[in-house]
Amino acid sequence: MDQPSLLRCCIKICIDEEPKKIGSGALVSQDGYILTAYHNIFDPHNNTRNIDFFAKIGKEGNNILYHVRESPFSVIQSDLSNDIALIKLDLLGQSVSDYLPIDLSYLPKEGEIVHTISYDVIDSERPMIRKASISSASGANFILEGHGYPGMSGSPVLLNHQIVGIVQAIRKNGAQIIVTPLLHVPNVTTVIEKLPKSNGDVSPKKIRKPRKNKSLEEHSQELEKPVGQKASRIGKKDRNALFFHIGCAVGNKFTIANVGSCIDEFPMLLQWINQAELSQMESVQEIVHVANMIAQGTETKKQERELIFSYLASMDKFVLELRDACDRDEYRWFLVGNCILRIATLAEASNILDIGVDDTIEHAAHDLAALHVALRPPREISKLIKLLIETVQLNDSDNIVKVANRTASAIGMLL
């Protein structure tokens, strides 16, 4: 997609308030679907803002205005917590030729170069493309290091001409741009994936055939294939199970708090990693090293705490490396297992260490809920995931660990 086409994908949102405000958005379909920030559409009281008109650049370089009184819009999906909204603008029977695809699997990497397209106070008549570097990718959002300006809220963040995030805020006098990654808002982005090419109706959900439940014996036999077997020889459903088990690292027993008592489970974990052809990853070696150090025991709680967080840091690194080594569904099932591991790990750590981890547990549960929406798993697995999320909301650390371990074990058999 050339630069003029990219510019035509950007939308200006003119808010009729005092003082006057503008925001940005991105066309994601030819029939007027726009992805933007939640606060561009709703005020702090969650009431729809008084939007005067939308604008975009036409093929001749002219400004095309869509006045709301003539071209009304409707909210299709929104997510207040992640500050993102999907709306549909009535194009009065017309369509646009330029719109941006989305990338749902992207995980930000520090130092990676991305681009933003936005209307802002520097030039409110024409959108601008700016280059920025990711300075932090450790939290729920990622941060761009660059020059941010009022009006950028809701603008798309692009990598390889695909939307990977939406700008939600500008901080530190414009030095930091806060971005919501699309991976965290599947309730919004799955709607975009279903948009047809020719009209404005959202296609109905596909009816999925229920999966045949696999017994523990059958599952174990499949995973006990010779070490080093090529991953391509494993069936698709079994690969999903394989990546789930790697993610939760023998989830029915293997939590960091009791790793010393189950170190004998490592051969199975390493066999799964070898089957998936992941054993050469640097992060895998770090995970094994730290877990062995924990198994040897520590003299103080401080040392134990440092090792726990070293393990979690190694797992975060593994998550980033893994996304390039498998397909989207395999990666999502890995993340499901990893979320369950994080929930069990942090809940048990809160029992044995004097550290505040409640917010982190809730964040892991939020990630799990987002993955649940994206995967749309069979009913049995869906019930298990919902039960674990509800247990986290009750904030009972002892029960969280038990439910997390049971959930991991049951999902492993059902996949």
For position 207, what pLDDT does the model report? 30
351 band by pLDDT with thresholds 50, 70 and 90: low
Task: Provide, rounded to the nearest whole percent, the portion of the chain with pLDDT above 70.
Answer: 79
Question: Which pLDDT tens digit goes with each residue over 224-274?
Answer: 333 333 333 455 667 888 888 887 764 333 333 343 333 345 556 667 777
* Superfamily per CATH, domain 113-193: Trypsin-like serine proteases (2.40.10.10)
For position 190, what pLDDT does the model report? 76
Q: Find the range with the poorest average confidence among 21-30, 289-298, 371-380.
A: 289-298
Which among 146-160, 207-221, 295-309 has the top mean pLDDT?
A: 146-160
Which among 67-71, 150-154, 218-222, 407-411 has the top mean pLDDT?
A: 150-154
Q: Provide mean pLDDT across the span 284-306.
A: 74
Asked whether the predicted pLDDT for residue 14 surpasses 70, the reply is yes
Instruction: Please state whether beta strands 73-79 and 63-67 pair in parallel, antiparallel, or not at all (unpaired).
Output: unpaired
301 band by pLDDT with thresholds 50, 70 and 90: confident
Q: DSSP assignment of 123-185, as one string?
A: EEEEEEEEEEEEEE-SSSSEEEES---TT-TT-EEEETTEEEEEEEEEETTTTEEEEEEGGG-
For position 126, what pLDDT does the model report? 86
Q: DSSP assignment of 223-234, as one string?
A: HTSPTT--GGGS
Q: Give 219-222 contacts, CB < 8 A, sequence gap 24+.
A: 219/412, 219/413, 219/415
For position 353, what pLDDT does the model report? 55
Question: Which pLDDT tens digit goes with each residue over 184-222?
Answer: 787 787 788 777 544 334 433 333 333 343 333 343 343
Note whether 213 and 380 are within 8 A (CB).
Answer: yes
For position 81, what pLDDT does the model report? 81
Q: Find the range with the poorest average confidence among 28-42, 102-116, 283-297.
A: 283-297
The residues that bridge with 78 in the sheet, in sequence order, are: 85
Kindly state the tokens that stand for 43: 């005020």
Sign of CA dihedral 149, 51, 128, 34: positive
114 band by pLDDT with thresholds 50, 70 and 90: very high
Question: Which pLDDT tens digit goes with each residue over 154-164?
Answer: 999 999 999 99
Asked whether the predicted pLDDT for residue 335 surpasses 80, the reply is yes
pTM recorded for the entire structure: 0.51
Q: Provide mean pLDDT across the span 123-151.
A: 85
Percent helix, strand and coil across the chain, each to the nearest 5:
45, 20, 35
Q: Find the range with the poorest average confidence among 68-72, 304-308, 411-415.
A: 304-308
For position 411, what pLDDT does the model report? 85
What are the residue ranges of CATH 2.40.10.10 in the chain? 3-89, 113-193
Helix (H) or strand (E) holding 74: strand 73-79
Note whether 93 and 81 are within 8 A (CB).
Answer: no
Task: Name the residue with higher pLDDT: 137 or 196.
Answer: 137
Write the class of the CATH domain 3-89.
mainly beta
Place of tokens 């797992």: 315
Kindly state the tokens that stand for 45: 């009281």
